[in-house]
């Protein structure tokens, strides 16, 4: 049995049209037609794809022996036309749904994986914004607290601070420096340690968010370029 007859036999046995077989092997329908007519011979990689599509080995496909499931015509029956084999349908190879799902997921990751990098970058941006807002909020809160303490004479500090009046809009730092120079305020704010802790936490959020944002943007660019190369 010739190779072209084997291809025709196994395609009919698997109940595949020429278009369906061509799609599985990765060629045109005309190529399958030429193989079955004997006008062309499949290349090595196409032979492997054909054997996989038929659920047989390449040795079985290339062997000149009759397929194991081929039936002989019954006695007295009209002979088939020249070159037309008589078919018996073997069990169709079961399709592996798991492999199909894995392949689909892989294609989606290659094509849209860069969106993961965008998401990471947006997460980093959100973290940096939260840190900046926290720093601004803590700074305003502690500045107001320091100003109020200075106006009340501090905690056990020297008296007479309440008589010092500053013009509206004078920064708390300027007020504190003036009071320290005049000896009317303690050398350091009683809230300095707490303020430093909270501002430090806010700075950590800002730095972490900025690093994450840059890393996410770089990852998005790399995955996007890889996806374009593989599509």
- DSSP assignments along 7-71, one per residue: HHHHHHHTT--HHHHHHHHTS-HHHHHHHHHTSS---HHHHHHHHHHHTS-HHHHH-SSPPTTPP
Q: What are phi and psi of 87, to 5 degrees?
A: -110, 145
Q: Are 160 and 184 in contact (CB under 8 A)?
A: yes
Last residue of a domain, one of 89, 119, 144: 89
Residues 141 and 84 in one domain: no
132 and 225: one domain?
Answer: yes
How far, in Å, CA of 165 to CA of 214, rounded? 48
C-alpha distances (whole Å) from 228 to each of 43, 61, 114, 121 are: 29, 37, 11, 20
Q: Domain for residue 163, yes or no? A: no
Average pLDDT over residues 171-191: 65
Q: Over range 122-140, report the average pLDDT.
A: 90
Same domain membership, residue 211 and residue 142: yes
Number of domains, the chain: 2
Statement to judge: residues 227 and 150 lie in one domain: yes
For the stretch 40-63, pLDDT in tens is: 888 888 888 888 888 888 888 787
Residue 168: inside a domain: no
Contact 197/109 with Cβ under 8 angstroms? no
Which tokens sit at 134? 């926290």
Residues in the chain: 231
d(CA 184, CA 166): 14
Q: Could you tell me the CATH number of the domain that includes residue 53?
A: 1.10.260.40
Q: What is the DSSP letter of 77?
A: P
- Domain for residue 8, yes or no? yes
Residues 129 and 217 in one domain: yes
Q: What single DSSP character describes residue 67?
A: P
Confidence of residue 191 (pLDDT cuts 50, 70, 90): low
Judgement on whether residues 16 and 112 belong to the same structural domain of the protein = no
Do 28 and 108 lie in one domain? The reply is no
186 within domain boundaries: no
Q: For residues 52 and 143, state if they share a domain.
A: no
- Residue 110, domain extent: 101-154+198-231
Do residues 177 and 186 lie in contact, with contact meaning Cβ atoms separated by under 8 Å? no
- 84 and 12 in one domain? yes
In a domain, 106, yes or no: yes
Same domain, 132 and 84: no
Q: What is the pTM of this model?
A: 0.39
Q: Which pair of structure tokens corresponds to residue 147?
A: 């100003």
- Residues 109, 230 contacting (CB under 8 angstroms): no
User: Is 173 domain-assigned?
Assistant: no
Do 132 and 32 share a structural domain? no
Do residues 87 and 7 touch, judged by C-beta distance below 8 A? no
- The reply to whether 118 and 85 lie within a common domain is no
153, 162 Cβ separation under 8 angstroms: yes
What is the C-alpha to C-alpha distance for residues 214 and 151, in angstroms, rounded to an integer? Answer: 45
Q: Which residue has the higher pLDDT, 132 or 223?
A: 132
Helix axes 44-54, 18-25, angle to 10 degrees: 120
> What percent of the chain has pLDDT above 90?
19
Residue 224 has pLDDT above 60, yes or no: yes
């Amino acid at each position: 049995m010739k190779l072209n007859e084997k291809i025709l036999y196994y395609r009919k046995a698997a109940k595949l049209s020429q278009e369906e077989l061509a799609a599985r092997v990765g060629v045109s329908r005309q190529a399958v037609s030429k193989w079955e007519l004997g006008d062309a011979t499949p290349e090595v990689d196409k032979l492997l794809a054909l054997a996989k599509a038929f659920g047989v080995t390449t040795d079985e496909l290339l062997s000149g022996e009759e397929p194991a499931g081929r039936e002989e015509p019954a006695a007295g029956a009209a002979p088939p036309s020249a070159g037309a084999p008589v078919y018996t349908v073997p069990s169709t190879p079961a399709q592996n749904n798991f492999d199909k799902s894995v392949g689909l997921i892989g294609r989606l990751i290659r094509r849209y994986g860069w969106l993961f990098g965008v998401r990471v970058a947006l997460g980093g941006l959100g973290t940096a914004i939260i840190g900046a807002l926290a720093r601004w909020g803590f700074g305003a809160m502690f500045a107001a607290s320091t100003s109020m303490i200075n106006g009340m004479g501090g905690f056990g500090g020297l008296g007479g601070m309440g008589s010092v009046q500053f013009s509206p809009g004078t920064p708390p730092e300027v007020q504190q420096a003036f009071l320290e120079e005049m000896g009317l305020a303690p050398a350091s704010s009683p809230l300095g340690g707490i303020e430093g802790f909270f501002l430090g936490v806010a700075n950590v959020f800002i730095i972490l968010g900025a690093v994450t944002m840059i890393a996410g943007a770089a990852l998005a660019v790399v995955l996007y370029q890889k996806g374009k190369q593989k599509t």
